[in-house]
Structure 1
Amino acid sequence: MQSTSLRFWFLAAASASLVACDEAPAPTEVRQGISQNLAAVLPEVVAALESDASGRVPLDSATGLFDLLDGEADVVAALARVPMAQQLAASSSLDAERAAGWLTRNVFSDANHRGDGVYRVTPQVLCALSHDPTTGDPGPDLDEDCAVAVNKIEPKIKASGDAQELTLALLLGPSENEPVSVTLSKKAIALRMDLGETAAAVGELTDLFGGQRPNLRAAGRVALSLAVLGPQHVTVKGTIERAVDLAFAELGVDLSSAAATRFASAAAQVWSVEIDGVAQTLTAAAALGATSVHSPADALDPAIDLDLPGVTGTLTVAPGQPVKFTGLGLGKRSLTVNANGTRAATIDVNPDHGRSFDVTVTENAGAVSFAVSPALDLRMQVDRAALGEPAQPYEVTRLLLDGTAPTLTLKAGMIQVTSGHFAVTTSPAQYGVDASAGQCLAETAIDATTTRLTVATCPL
């Protein structure tokens, strides 16, 4: 009898604890979590972005080498000219107190609370025709069409967790699909998008407005997170938390057929950037997993299938130290592109050296040196006809920088083989070049639009 009684009270206590753990936070706790967590995170983010560390990447120096090695480096050059993060921070007002106040007044109020941690997002919030210039609060007049749409969509936000770690999930439509959520703590903010929930929401909302559901398949979850590691020290990460699988096409088209567009990518921490404003360091890393893309043919272009094994690499910048790129590669096998089922391009990075390489960039008296380890062996095959492109005077089929301490130096618009051996192999072969330590290379025109590298006298 006593044993039965003990079991009863144990089960009752366990059930009560589970109910307590699942209990939604009260409105006062939600408002507290928003206010204290935004106030803790955002100032450190701004301080890190405004520090000198976020502007220390000397990409302009590296661009010149790519321009000489390959005349199609426009994308690299464009990226090098993008303003650095502190300029964005300087033009943006990340006022944590104002943002928290606006949310607590206009969304997470007692009046909007529907119970169980669910808050209605009113048409007033989304459809106001005017806003208070000081607080940003919505005015009384609404866009009527917008208000009707909001009432159909029934947007709500569900709060869970507690003030220390608060999760806010957007609910859309009668089925309350959860496409997006935000998790806040004093040290981190994470934004997540569930692609399956997003597709379900799109379908249901299309029905609500009398449209026709798109021919769409979506699965996976992606996240953007920001963590405070210390004073002026933050890291931002982009992650595929669950493998992504997307497909879409015209209505009636089989999503597995050649006429559909498809994208798939494995779960991975795709990229990260860490800025330490105190130590004046910056570290950026990429680790994209295996990715495939299918683009259907149209009147102008063939069907394209890209098989990308991955993208890896880490950039490290520190005061008084060379810029270092480590682990640069394209995964553990060849990157391939097929056009209408025919192999159109193949790229291999260091197939005989572990499929990755490191680069150390050093600048001295106007000269920029690029030392690679263990070697750089880039092999390429391109079929222009398969891609529907005109033939070129020549194709580069291999770039090889190897030997003892292989290093190239860019100076006065020329490339010097400082140490090791550098070769460019082409098809046809007469446009290639082979240079040893101490020799220099310069661009020579073949015709009005094409150049090649040739051995030249080194500048003094």
Structure 2
Amino acid sequence: MRNDFLKVLGLTMAVGGVVACGPSEDPQLEEQPVDALSVRQAVSESVGNSADAVAEGLAFLGESSLFHDYVWSSSGDSACVGEPVEPPIPGEEAGGEEPMPCEPEPVAPFEPDFDEERDEIRRVLEERIFADENVETASETEVTYLLKGEVVCAEEEELDRAECEEEVDALEIRLKARSFAEGEVDIDVMVGPDRLSPLSMAFGPARVAADLDLAILKDAAEFMAAEMGEELDASFPQTMSGRLSAELSKSGDEVALSVAVGQAIALAGEMFSVDIAASPRALEIRSDSAARELSFEVDMGALALNFPTGDVEECYDVEVPGEPGNYEFNCEVVEEGYQMGAALAGIKGALSFLAAEDRLELRGFGLGASPAQVFVEGEEVAALDFNADHGRSLDLDLAKDGDDIAISMSPGLDLELMLALYRAQDVISDLEAWMLDDVLSLVIDGDASPALRVGEAGVKVERGQLMMSSESADVVVEIEAGMCIGEVEPAEGSAEHPMSAVGPVACEQ
């Protein structure tokens, strides 16, 4: 699990720049001389440098106890599981030695290392993709590769090699390489006889960039499926449009991944849809190894999702009729799936992790100018209004203080959650009564910078006050500074509601 987490963290930055600001082509720039050797070297070195830059840019996270204790240690399963003790045979006494108490395995230090993956990717690029045998045409300023099955599939198992070669040859995948800056190479990926080009990439000594056209990607996918005599999976979008670009770059001690939605993205299938507004600075992840700081900045416009949930099944063994003692596995649907949707007016904010100080800073976080919504079968069942009384924006600081976590915020927190799940009772089972129709609120204010402390004593209000309420249950919970949030005896005659059993308690020393 921890290795998976490490790869995800690294590849979010390293691969993000490759699969998604775009190539360096500029009509005012002159094309530079290129040949197969310079293309191969530029691409391979760029990929290698990018992997090394990401590893170096993340290494300082291992110095932070906040990251180690609450992120890295939690990403794996270190729970101690003892050896099962077999019960004694009936009529006999238990024998054997008492089992030794087990201890959780120690957590390995956080040490990002992508050397193995980096070397393998470089080898494949050099030997299977940008190999001399794949060169179709070459001029002083352009090299075009036509991927050949016998080269690309050379390492496939013998039984699969012929099929692999046939498919690669049928797809006519070309890579057109040019250069518009010394030491850099731009690659246009083209598919089929019409040379559909959904993806353009740029490789330089200190950057990898890419630009993806979703409409052309759909055309290319349809061509590829037809050539292989297959139908696209039912989950593949029937309509696709929009442009997505990304760039991974290194400058001095800084490594940055920037992602932009150049044109609004619209994906739609038989039962799902995704709409994302154009956002020139949708996401930026920046690592500064000298300052020991990792930052994330998001500035996205409206987002809307619509998707089906899966059926809920119960499975069990059933004895085969007429065959005593013979069972077969059987499943039946106990709850059918339904359509869900979500809509955000936007999401914006900057999160910085200062490893040397074991501190997180969140600045200007907000969810747009209107409440976030959740839908079931087209009906609104929940809406979250975020900091409507505080400019719909929040600043928050989180730091490790001994064994506790100290949290302060400005100007305060004001959440209001509308629940109307009664509109979905016919498709969602096991809904509790309080979920059906209510307005819940959480307010933390009463000070210019309200503060909480989270630790073994629970959640303590350090400055200001915390108030929770339920409109339908007519419950109001107030926690003053110096008190903790804890379980209390519900007031006589109070409605059955989770908040009825929550209130102020003295903090354990």
What range is the shorter-chain TM-score in?
0.7 to 0.9
Aligned to 2:305: 293
Which residue of the other structure, out of 141, 145, 149, is the alignment partner of 2:163? 145
Deviates more, 1:393-402 or 1:307-316: 393-402
Q: Distance in 2 between matches of 1:60 and 1:450?
A: 33
Contact 2:403 2:455 in 1 (8 A): yes
Equivalent residues in 2 for 1:31-430 (5 A)? 31-38=40-47, 40-49=49-58, 51-53=59-61, 56=64, 58=66, 81-82=74-75, 87=110, 89-90=112-113, 92-95=115-118, 99-100=121-122, 102-115=124-137, 116-129=142-155, 143-162=161-180, 163-212=182-231, 216-231=238-253, 233-249=254-270, 260-268=271-279, 269-295=281-307, 300-318=336-354, 319-320=356-357, 322-388=359-425, 389=428, 390-392=430-432, 394=434, 397-404=440-447, 405-430=449-474
SS at match of 2:470: strand
Q: Distance in 1 between matches of 2:352 and 2:216?
A: 37
- Kindly report the root-mean-square deviation, in angstroms, between the aligned alpha carbons of the 2 structures: 3.6
Could you tell me which runs of 5 or more consecutive residues in structure 1 were left unpaired when the two chains were aligned.
1-16, 63-76, 131-138, 250-259
Distance 1:439 1:203, change over 3 A: same
User: Do residues 457 (structure 1) and 457 (structure 2) align?
Assistant: no
Q: Distance in 1 between matches of 2:471 and 2:108?
A: 42
Could you tell me which runs of 5 or more consecutive residues in structure 2 were left unpaired when the two chains were aligned.
1-25, 77-106, 312-335
Contact 2:128 2:152 in 1 (8 A): no
Distance 1:217 1:40, change over 3 A: same
Aligned-residue identity in percent: 21
Aligned to 1:9: none
Amino acid at match of 1:237: S
Q: Distance in 1 between matches of 2:192 and 2:121?
A: 26
SS at match of 2:444: strand
Contact 2:51 2:114 in 1 (8 A): no
Distance 1:141 1:169, change over 3 A: farther
Amino acid at match of 2:284: S
Could you tell me the TM-score, scaled by structure 1's length? Answer: 0.77
- By how many angstroms is 1:420 displaced? 0.9
Distance 1:210 1:391, change over 3 A: closer
Contact 1:57 1:317 in 2 (8 A): no
- By how many angstroms is 1:448 displaced? 13
Equivalent residues in 2 for 1:4-23 (5 A)? 21=30
Distance 1:20 1:420, change over 3 A: closer
- By how many angstroms is 1:120 displaced? 1.5
SS at match of 1:394: helix
- By how many angstroms is 1:453 displaced? 2.4
Distance 1:336 1:212, change over 3 A: same
Amino acid at match of 2:374: V
Distance 1:151 1:352, change over 3 A: same
Could you tell me the TM-score, scaled by structure 2's length? Answer: 0.70
